[in-house]
Amino acid sequence: MTAGAGPRCSRTGRDGTDRAVQDLPRGTASSPSYRHFYTGVLDPSPGVPAFTAVSYVNDQKILHYDSETRREEPRGDWVQGAVDPDFWERETRSLRGWQRGFEGNQVTLRHRYNQTDWSHTLQFMYGCELGEDNSTEGYMQFGYDGEDFISYDLRTHTWVAVPTEARVTQSRWNGDKNLLLIVRAYLEWKCIEWLRKYLQHGKAALQSKSPMSQVSDRPSSWARLTTLSCQVHGFYPKNISVVWLKNGVAQPQETSCSEVLPSGDGTYQTWATIEIDPNSNHNYTCCVEHVSLGADLRVAWDKSRQRKWGPGHRAETLEQSQLQHPLQSSAEPREAHDNSCETSGRGETDH
């Protein structure tokens, strides 16, 4: 192998990370980041490209290449202004080389693992983050069939194999001093340079946007319960925490969540529900945490407006303007159960 060749609502909370394939390695979800994901499928299904390369600033896709189009293309009008006119041809040539390298590496790994079938996936992730204190963090790693294969250690400036099958690659790459210098220079300097450039040119598109929330209710079809629904929309970036409170206490186990989905305008939406006894005397409130907010966004359910077993219902809404200004922060410590929502836990690369 050659180098150039019904989840819980708090799962995407402000401090959370998601270790799924094509997602952010451990770090602060609010830190500006520049990330790349290359995926090669040895025996792709119809309609699935054999090779795909995508790049993100924060959680916005800005670059796309696949083996069907065979061209690097921008995603977002502002991206064009951040690069020179020759960028697209240069990157297209580079990614075509990566595509050829992936094809060869996948055959190599199939033999190395002594596999007889052809349904296998090779992945490459690399990128960097910029901390609030101007500190930087970078990463570069390969995966095979969803498992870690080999990664670059920024502390020792060497490649570290995970399975036994990766030791041959580790030895070869660590013996290539030029490759080690290229990777280190990219992760410690060049990646951050690109991130700062994209953050500057995409300032308006990448600016955080505060969520809006609306609470509604509907009678359940069984057990005479009522379903409370909290719809949250218009927020950016994607990471958010939504949980229902009962008498001011978070109910993460009882709260059911949808996925966080794009709204089509650069913002995201999600919702959270909870089943309750409509005859109880408890107070229910939807609590939203987002990096754009200076204080939790809370929307209380108005029991007096409860929808009965008939047509029509009304929803209680509360916009962020009725709460603390998003640029302000609370002057007093927040009680965990009372004032805050509960959250749980290649060759040289040019861009």
**Residue 30: what pLDDT?**
64
Intervals of the chain under pLDDT 50: 4-29, 309-340, 342-348
Say what the pLDDT of residue 307 is. 63
Looking up tokens 């990646």 gives: 191
CA separation for the pair 280, 303 (Å, rounded): 10
Q: Which two tokens stand for residue 319?
A: 């916009």
In whole angstroms, give the CA distance from residue 57 to residue 194.
10
User: For residue 2, what pLDDT is reported?
Assistant: 52
pLDDT the model gives residue 207: 86
Strands (E), the chain: 33-41, 51-57, 60-66, 73-74, 121-130, 136-144, 147-153, 158-161, 212-219, 226-235, 241-246, 249-250, 256-257, 261-262, 268-276, 284-289, 297-300, 316-318
Residue with tokens 């983050």: 129
- Residue intervals of the chain classified under CATH 2.60.40.10 are 208-322
Q: How much is the pLDDT for 92? A: 97
pLDDT in tens, 166-219: 999 999 999 999 999 999 999 999 999 999 999 999 988 888 899 999 999 998
Residues 35, 187 contacting (CB under 8 angstroms): no
pLDDT, position 289: 96
Q: What is the spatial distance between Cα 347 and Cα 182, in angstroms, rounded to a whole number?
A: 8
- The DSSP code for 127 is E
Tally of residues, the chain: 351
User: Would you list the DSSP string of 20-87?
Assistant: STTSPPSS-TTS-EEEEEEEEESSPPTT--SEEEEEEETTEEEEEEETTT-S-EESSGGGGGGS-TTH
Report helix, strand and coil shares of the chain as percent, to nearest 5.
25, 30, 45
pLDDT of residue 96: 98
CA–CA gap between residue 115 and residue 113 (Å, rounded): 5
How does pLDDT run across 136-170, given as a tens digit for each residue?
Answer: 999 999 999 999 999 999 999 999 999 999 999 99
Task: Report the largest interatomic distance among the alpha carbons of the chain, rounded to a whole angstrom.
Answer: 74
* CATH number of 208-322, picked from 3.10.20.30, 1.20.1440.130, 2.60.40.10, 3.40.640.10: 2.60.40.10
Asked if 49 and 272 touch (Cβ cutoff 8 Å), the reply is no
pLDDT of residue 350: 62
Q: Which fold has domain 17-205?
A: 3.30.500
pLDDT of 59: 86
Confidence (pLDDT) at 5:
41
Q: What is the pLDDT of residue 137?
A: 96
CATH 3.30.500.10 residue ranges in the chain? 17-205
